[in-house]
Amino acid sequence: MQTPEQIKSLIEQNVPGAQIELVPNGSPGGPASILIDSDHALAATTFLRDAEELAFDFASNATGIDWPERVIKEKNKVKKMVDGVEKEVEEITEKKTPAFLETVYHLYSMSLSTGPLVLRLRTGDRGQNNHLPSLTPVWRSCEFQEREIFDLFGIVFDGHPDLRRILMWDGFKDHPMRKDYVEPDDYEYEPTPHDDVLEKAQRHYAQEATV
């Protein structure tokens, strides 16, 4: 299998305008994943599937990730004058990263027996800019998994053939896998609450009775 760096270069050569980034893998020896801009995602993934030297003909799974706004602290060594003497001191800087949602796909070539290639798509934010192109037209195996991501994370997949909730019911509001999700305490949907669920429900109804 070609390296992510080589695959990035091939996409850039064959998909004009595509913006490709390599995302480092934090695990020892793990290969980088490939981040593709959403405007060129369909063209780039079609190339990954159809190019003879790559032939990524199977998407084994798709998962969602919620990335709220974060503050990252970085330590840097800088030279400063201290009591008239130049010294190297440690300076801590803070950098805010914007909030977004992400979909991660694992691709394999069944014909070439290679993979996985980890592919990433990111939304503009966690609000109105929560749309990504569906990759179901490229790999049919993405259909139900993109529905699950839509249901639990709230990513809207444009071009999906049947985008609707798959785990929660149609009238359910919010997305349970988002990091700021607050679960209800009445559990009206739970016909036989028990253990900690029962305790929360009892507290909820006791509070309602005093209002």
What is the tens place of the pLDDT at every residue in 40-61? 999 999 999 999 999 999 999 9
Q: What is the mean pLDDT of the chain?
A: 90
Mean pLDDT in residue range 137-163: 98
Q: Which residues pair with 57 in a beta bridge?
A: none
The one-letter amino acid code at 161 reads: P
- Domains in the chain with CATH codes: 4-65+101-171 (3.30.460.80), 181-211 (no CATH)
Tracing tokens 């440690």 back to the chain, one arrives at: 90
Q: Are strands 58-67 and 100-109 parallel, antiparallel or unpaired?
A: antiparallel
Q: What's the chain's Rg over C-alpha atoms?
A: 23
- What's the pTM? 0.82
Which SS3 state, helix, strand or coil, does residue 46 take?
helix
Confidence of residue 176 (pLDDT cuts 50, 70, 90): very high
66 contacts 177 by C-beta, under 8 angstroms: yes
Q: Is the pLDDT of residue 197 over 90?
A: no
